[in-house]
Structure 1
């Protein structure tokens, strides 16, 4: 490796490879995107939420010890029970056992102890988009005294890729009420994010369509003059060729038609 390459590490992943020539990093697999490729540059480092203390990332971030040590991270909060803790001899881990709900108080106790010890902690889930951001948001509500919307925006500004699910947002809103009581925010985060609300784990059913109410009167020759159902007004006018009555009413046949039918029956 030439001297210039040793002095100029990749500005994205921090490793030494010919990123300007599109060479793939032998350590983390990063490659500099070409101008014709879509998508923003993604750093291989975890996202710094609070300076020199709180970091947010994915399982991929948690699987790269050289990058974790470069950021000074010594403790890892694993929010996904199915994710393995790969480097127990190098980092202090705390793993959640429950995958249905997020035990915020348990998580926040580990993070706060890290702060007291003047250490640095990474909070991660599988993609760094849902469970781990929720834990970080809950911590900001406790530590900073920020309400849910402000805490969410702080994390979103630093890691735009986060995508909270309605179930996780529901837990955060309940936790906000637990933290702030009557002073909790009045604007639900679900509504602010444009996500559907739900109850008991199921989405709300769509509103029932208004059913027409039929009348027993004969239909007029124009639908606009006397509508036969109580619904939205119609602007079109349809002329009917005959009068029509709802119900099983036998109509008298004309004499000529009856005679014709008799002649056909006798043939």
Structure 2
């Protein structure tokens, strides 16, 4: 390895690899995000707080900043990407998901429940913090808070705007919702949610907490939100709604 390379480690993972040239790190698997990923990755060193003093969501960049995590009181890390190395085993308690294709929601939730019982703050992360890790957080909200998928998505999206579920991950969440509740509660309006499809300027951005319906923030966290507004007056969780597919495609 040339001296120049030794003096210039990757600013994200700290290892020596040609990050700017797109080389994958041989130690932790870190790589430069492609153009579409970089456009939606949340800017900022701190992870997003999903549930106060307990559950945080972020990227591998966030997980690599140990001092900032300690400053937030985070002591445990749930790594949802097998190829991402757990960098600070002496400083944090790690739990890693082992399947890089299918998310093990029950495994992840078991770890998160343990963290909650022991009043430990935990970071859930993937590479960019926009698909795998948000999906795990949504699965936790469904299983442990009793919220449906649409409600869980809204809660997480409002706290981390860069969330953009892939089609594969969306499908896994739909299946998990059906496993928990016995059905998919609703179909997301196609004109409201793009979930990673090619952006269309004519498609409105979801309008959260508008005056068209009660906000989920008016309820305690342990009370499942019953009704709220999506987009232009669209309402989810209609009474007597039938079983439907949650249409959440992704790139």
TM-score by length of 1: 0.56
Structure 1 residue matching 2:182: 3-state secondary structure: helix
* Residue 150 of structure 2 corresponds to residue 149 of structure 1: yes
**How far does residue 55 in structure 1 lie from its aligned partner after superposition?**
0.2
Aligned counterparts of 1:53 and 1:127: Cα–Cα separation in 2 = 21
1:98 maps to which residue? 99
Structure 2 residue matching 1:48: 3-state secondary structure: strand
2:51 maps to which residue? 50
TM-aligned CA distance change 1:192 to 1:166, over 3 Å: farther
1:174 maps to which residue? 175
Structure 2 residue matching 1:74: 3-state secondary structure: strand
Query: Greater RCO between the two (CA within 8 Å, min separation 6)?
Result: 2
Report how many residues are paired: 159
Question: Which ranges of structure 1 fall in alignment gaps of 5 or more residues?
Answer: 1-38, 197-202, 204-267
Aligned counterparts of 1:40 and 1:106: Cα–Cα separation in 2 = 26
Aligned counterparts of 1:40 and 1:168: Cα–Cα separation in 2 = 17
Aligned counterparts of 2:134 and 2:102: Cα–Cα separation in 1 = 14
TM-score by length of 2: 0.59
1:109 maps to which residue? 110
1:185 maps to which residue? 185
Q: How big is each residue's C-alpha offset from its partner over 1:14-67, in whole Å with a ceiling of 9 and x where there is no partner?
A: xxxxxxxxxxxxxxxxxxxxxxxxx99933111000000000000000001100
Q: CA RMSD in A?
A: 2.4
1:138 maps to which residue? 139
1:86 maps to which residue? 87
**How far does residue 187 in structure 1 lie from its aligned partner after superposition?**
1.3
Return the index of the structure with the highest Cα Rg. Answer: 1
Q: How big is each residue's C-alpha offset from its partner over 1:136-175, in whole Å with a ceiling of 9 and x where there is no partner?
A: 0110111211100110010000000011001100000000
TM-aligned CA distance change 1:191 to 1:185, over 3 Å: farther
Q: How big is each residue's C-alpha offset from its partner over 1:200-245, in whole Å with a ceiling of 9 and x where there is no partner?
A: xxx9xxxxxxxxxxxxxxxxxxxxxxxxxxxxxxxxxxxxxxxxxx
TM-aligned CA distance change 1:40 to 1:106, over 3 Å: closer
Q: How big is each residue's C-alpha offset from its partner over 1:102-143, in whole Å with a ceiling of 9 and x where there is no partner?
A: 000000000010000010000000000110000001101112
